[in-house]
Structure 1
């Protein structure tokens, strides 16, 4: 029997790929959007989905959206890694998640998958990858985004105690085709345009958006209530990641390592002379501080319990680069 499914955040990078996969099934797919939402990422499947107008920050608007829904994928969220405080992070990532969970409980939704982040897992000490049981320690870096993703998972735990069936997924650093807002894709674009002359000394876990979307669906089908699943792939240093991007893009390698203490000096000089000299806007101290840590994760639980597949990060970089180049977006 066809299921009635609601997706929040369906116009975003991960959410839109999730909606595309769900729309290819026989299920009845509804996507929560705002009146002013940009629907370009869904334009080729609008005839196969139902748009429902509402906003996760408006609790009342969610009541009608949840009516009759069996399953809910909550992928709405604000990703902001900058060094300026953004009050929308609390409103969308924490209060919005709480609104969705409460509305799902009231509507009698059978199951919710909450799309979180690896920042809600933590930071490595050394290079040993973290798993789902690692205690959250991202508060040692002053990053509001990480705090709100952690808080949203606490809201999930509270909703489960009230009787909601909910599973958490934690995607890592997501690349791939369809990243129209240049989330991780900004790194590809700026290396291609020679705007990144140095690399940070940390590392990151890279995963393709198609695998993320597949695994989110698997979490709905096979995930255990109250469990979290890290959706990640290759753990690579930024040096290695940038070498991969340079190779795929056909541009010279980024060869200069820049420790965080030196980045602070360079940033203050650039601010003083009021120029960026064509340096990527990714170069802010908040993001560079994070990139100087090792964000390595063990995804074996998702592979074992959800059947998550693995592929080289090279494939994901190549897929994203080709997608951008075909659309003259670089």
Structure 2
């Protein structure tokens, strides 16, 4: 149990997972310092007893200033876009930014760093079994710039850990729950399904975890994780059809029954991306999403259960809390 004087920097606290991590740390008595870009949406910081420091993952000087005097760093921030007009921005934030932050924290004498990676960087067995921390994978297996940037970012962090940086890595699966203000790509699916705006779906699958369980996993990684190791923070494997049926049951709507082949949806995604280059608004569907959906992204969190004491709740609870939050905050 940390003392009240323990100071932690949390990056990404304005976002979905980061805000949940910040709340979990406050419950343990941490003194929090939250890194935020000057123009970030700070609704998720409302009511948090924390000091906001302005900085950016692409500004190494601001990162050195932010970590000074900290005992712990939770690096949750990432550029999570499955489509970007300039893909270089993803690599600058996710790869270069993570390398710079972890290096700065190590140089500043930070005692423990928890780095938030993603199951997106893990392999998926071809025989249908769930992937885990040891499933073989290479950068060539990464679909699209987001996954590739996160893979290279984790590689950079692991290299720093090998040189002495006190890093524990966590790989969240698909977090769902309250305070998804943006919302995330998966949050948009939950929101649209709850609003009755998803009449059809493709055959895919996800590992669904409550965002507060993912935050708990960060805390457990901090207190019990082994430096240099990584831990999947997952929940329950569900097909998209099952997810939509559960949301329909929660909301009292009819579940969609029209399943579309991936080939039929791909032209829509290409057209949406083409239009997005003119409108500047994110496309309603992306080529990366369709390509990724051809695989069922199922993962095992057995290692985190065994070594950290991680105990995720059923996926339905995450979906119920997400739907309730979207409803209560005017998203539906």
TM surpasses 0.5: yes
* Alignment equivalent of 2:290, drawn from 288, 291, 300: 288
CA distance in structure 2 between the partners assigned to 1:148 and 1:270 by the alignment: 23
Q: Does 1:249 align with 2:251?
A: yes
* Residue-by-residue CA offset, 1:78-107 (whole Å, 9 max, x unaligned): 111237552211011101101101101210
| Structure-2 residue corresponding to 1:171 | 172
| TM-score, normalised by the number of residues in structure 2 | 0.91
Find runs of 4+ consecutive structure 1 residues off by over 6 angstroms: 268-272
* Residue-by-residue CA offset, 1:187-210 (whole Å, 9 max, x unaligned): 122123333222211211000100
Matches within 5 A, 1:1-330: 1=3, 2-45=5-48, 48-82=49-83, 86-137=87-138, 139-140=140-141, 142-183=143-184, 184-264=186-266, 282-330=284-332
Report if aligned partners of 1:176, 1:317 keep a CA contact under 8 Å in 2.
yes
* Matched positions, count: 323
CA distance in structure 2 between the partners assigned to 1:124 and 1:140 by the alignment: 12
1:271 deviates by 9.3
Return closer, same or farther for 1:141/1:64 CA change in 2, 3 Å cut-off: closer
Q: CA RMSD in A?
A: 2.3
CA distance in structure 2 between the partners assigned to 1:262 and 1:218 by the alignment: 43
Question: Bigger CA drift: 228-237 or 116-125?
Answer: 116-125
Return closer, same or farther for 1:155/1:24 CA change in 2, 3 Å cut-off: same
CA distance in structure 1 between the partners assigned to 2:273 and 2:148 by the alignment: 28
Which 5+ residue runs of structure 1 have no aligned equivalent? 273-279
1:37 deviates by 2.3
1:268 deviates by 6.8
1:267 deviates by 5.4
Report if aligned partners of 2:33, 2:53 keep a CA contact under 8 Å in 1.
yes
Which 5+ residue runs of structure 2 have no aligned equivalent? 275-281
Report if aligned partners of 1:124, 1:294 keep a CA contact under 8 Å in 2.
no
